[in-house]
Amino acid sequence: MKSQSLILMVVAAACGLVAMFGVRQAMSQKPETSEEMVEVLQAALEIQPGEMLNETNVRPVKVNINACPEGVVTELTQVQERSLKVPAMPGDWILVSKLTEKGEIGAAANIPEGMRAITIPVDATQTHSGMLRPGNRVDIMLTYDSRETGGNGRGQIAKTILQYVEVFAVDDRIYGIDKTGEASGGAKNISVLVTPEQAGLLRLAEKVGRLSTALRSNSDKTEVVASEITSDVLGSNQDGNNLNASSVMQAREENLLESEAMKGDIPPIPESAAAPVADQLLAELNRQGSTDPGGSMPVIELAQAEPENTWTIEIHEGTNVRLESVQLPEEAVSTGSIWDFLKPSKKKSTP
């Protein structure tokens, strides 16, 4: 038995030594690197859409091929006479999908597909004293002389022909490219983005009369029915007041109240100013986080007016309270003193 145990110990030690030498040898061997490096193009500085790509604004860098996105530009010849459709920041990949067609540089690179940029001559009035900027939205109105058959014209006519039109450029300041953001009071032309059909309408309108613009909020997408307004309206009794129109300060206050209500600082604006008093009190309790405090006894309803010569007695039965009406006897009423009636009668003692 002792010899068998010794043999087993020797075999186990030998196996352990073999395993140790195998692990050491495997750890000492350096794995062969199979990482492939490739040269790609990245933005060297901030690049605006339409800006021509060249060696001054892009740079080649070597990176692991597995880290490259699909469609990355690998050679400078791929970007010759081309620009980007979207802005790029330093270190961004230059992708083929973001490149314009060859020769599409400058303003043309910023025109959305299917749209056209039409230029309209303007003055300080049409540019709203220089406040009009690329990216603003305007309505375009046409004012012209009516020339009906027979010479019975209606005088001057004003009509809105296009609504919510985007201003693409003011002179040479293009939306998405111009970095100054400063208004120019002496602009002579503005360019707007329209469909091909609207482009023909604008060119025809220029021959008919005078075009003007009405500046509107970019968030106001309300479509207004385009109706003709003639010079006859000036002599009519048409209501021209803006008593119920929104103002700049009113819009600011409404936005402030809405933002504060979302934060929970103040209760939301009630839907109706004539809300019932009970609803207003409930809203106030909810705002303060109050809960129903409950009560120690049920609420006592008010009784209707009792007839004459009656008493109302309040009877407490534990936590319940009830009311009882008692008709007074004629004797108590005639004497005028209820206390005499309630006093216990004293029996006279016989001598």
pLDDT at 4: 73
122 and 101 housed in the same domain: no
- Is 298 domain-assigned? no
pLDDT at 156: 86
Quote the strand ranges of the chain, DSSP E: 37-43, 58-64, 116-121, 137-145, 156-170, 173-174, 189-194, 210-216, 229-230, 310-317, 320-327
173 and 73 housed in the same domain: no
pLDDT at 61: 92
Measured distance CA(101)–CA(331) in Å, rounded:
116
- How many other CB atoms are there within 10 angstroms of residue 343's CB atom? 9
pLDDT at 279: 59
- Return the CA Rg of the chain: 45
- Is 295 domain-assigned? no
96 and 120 housed in the same domain: no
Q: Are 142 and 220 in contact (CB under 8 A)?
A: no
- Is 182 domain-assigned? yes
90 and 148 housed in the same domain: no
Chain-centre distance for alpha carbon 298: 50
pLDDT at 247: 75
- Is 9 domain-assigned? no
Domain span at 318: 310-335
Q: Which parts of the chain register pLDDT below 70?
A: 1-2, 26-34, 147-154, 175-185, 235-240, 256-309, 326, 328-351
pLDDT at 293: 46
119 and 229 housed in the same domain: yes
Measured distance CA(138)–CA(194) in Å, rounded:
12
CATH code where residue 70 lies = 3.90.1210.10
DSSP 257-270: HHHHHHHTSSPPPP
281 and 253 housed in the same domain: yes
63 and 123 housed in the same domain: no
210 and 143 housed in the same domain: yes
pLDDT at 149: 38
223 and 131 housed in the same domain: yes
Number of compact structural domains in the chain: 4
Chain-centre distance for alpha carbon 234: 40
Q: Indicate the DSSP class of residue 163.
A: E
pLDDT at 257: 67
Measured distance CA(157)–CA(204) in Å, rounded:
16
125 and 155 housed in the same domain: yes
- Is 348 domain-assigned? no
